[in-house]
Amino acid sequence: MMKYMGSKRRICKDILPIMLKNRHSGQYFVEPFCGGCNVIAHVDGNRLAADINPYLIAMFQSLVKGERPPSIINKQIYEKARNQYRCGVGILSDFEIGWIGFMASFRAKFFGRYAGSSNDGRDYVQEAIDNIKPQIKLLKGIRFECCDYRQLLIPRHSIVYCDIPYKGTTRFGNTPTFSYNAFYKWCFLMKNEGHTLFISEYAMPNDFQLVWEKPIVKNLGNQKPTRAERLYTL
């Protein structure tokens, strides 16, 4: 599966049965913040995935169509793609910029810095490519959209899973500042329209109900602080 900042790869097997428990036939599963598609890839039936990052969506759309990405991403190609991403001038397609930025950035931080390889010969770029390959077939049939979550047209009575950027964490590449209050308001609006909402966050206002939590140990050098992954509903 694709390495992605804030990926829910490790917890999707815990949260999906909760979100899909009462899904009825034909009901859409919608992810307005799909990121690396590490959750929606494991859902079948009608699916809609969206994200505000145009390079990410172009990448998935092209991969699903069977288009071939550049197979070699050396530092020179990486710099060229990063310049185009930053300045908007160049001949690479959004697909190519997305592919290079996600496959070859250190710790999947979009155009943070080139991942390259380690002294002991680990090729991080090739590892990222090998990780995403088996995922592509799982994404076939998903409708992809690129937009802000508020612009997304959600099919009637959908299950909507929102994996928003956690409060107080690193911002995602080109995303504008995230307004949490605007997001909470939108959740109420969506609920009133008849959708079932689930949200991954560390904490949510009192109107949201906690439906699942699990402590996660994060390795940070010698310290091993624990935090809890949480799933809320409305």
Ligand X SMILES: C[S@@+](CC[C@H](N)C(=O)[O-])C[C@H]1O[C@@H](n2cnc3c(N)ncnc32)[C@H](O)[C@@H]1O
- The residue of the chain with the least Cβ separation from ligand X equals 35
Determine the Cα–Cα distance for residues 40 and 23; give it in Å rounded to an integer: 14
Determine the Cα–Cα distance for residues 217 and 215; give it in Å rounded to an integer: 7
Nearer to ligand X, 51 or 96 (CB): 51
Position among 16, 29, 30, 51 found at the interface with ligand X (CB under 6 A): 51
Of residues 208-227, which lie at the interface with ligand X (CB under 6 A)? Answer: none
Minimum Å distance from CB 224 to ligand X? 22
**Does 94 sit near ligand X (CB under 6 A)?**
no
In this structure, what token pair is assigned to residue 234?
């409305």
Determine the Cα–Cα distance for residues 52 and 25; give it in Å rounded to an integer: 29
In this structure, what token pair is assigned to residue 33?
């913040």
Position among 15, 16, 48, 53 found at the interface with ligand X (CB under 6 A): 53
Position among 28, 55, 78, 172 found at the interface with ligand X (CB under 6 A): 172
CB-based contacts of 14, cutoff 8 Å, min separation 6? 212, 214
Determine the Cα–Cα distance for residues 134 and 68; give it in Å rounded to an integer: 15
Nearer to ligand X, 75 or 86 (CB): 86
Of residues 8-37, which lie at the interface with ligand X (CB under 6 A)? Answer: 8-9, 32-33, 35-36
Minimum Å distance from CB 160 to ligand X? 12
Considering CB under 6 A, how many residues would be counted as binding ligand X? 21
Minimum Å distance from CB 107 to ligand X? 14
Question: In what side-by-side order are the strands of the sheet with 226-233?
Answer: 143-146, 47-51, 29-31, 159-162, 196-200, 226-233, 209-217
Q: How far is CA 148 from the centre of its chain?
A: 13
CB-based contacts of 174, cutoff 8 Å, min separation 6? 52, 53, 110
**Does 146 sit near ligand X (CB under 6 A)?**
no
**Does 163 sit near ligand X (CB under 6 A)?**
yes
Nearer to ligand X, 83 or 175 (CB): 175
- Please report, as ranges, the residues that interact with ligand X according to CB under 6 A: 4, 6-9, 32-33, 35-36, 38-39, 51-53, 148-149, 163, 165, 172, 175, 178
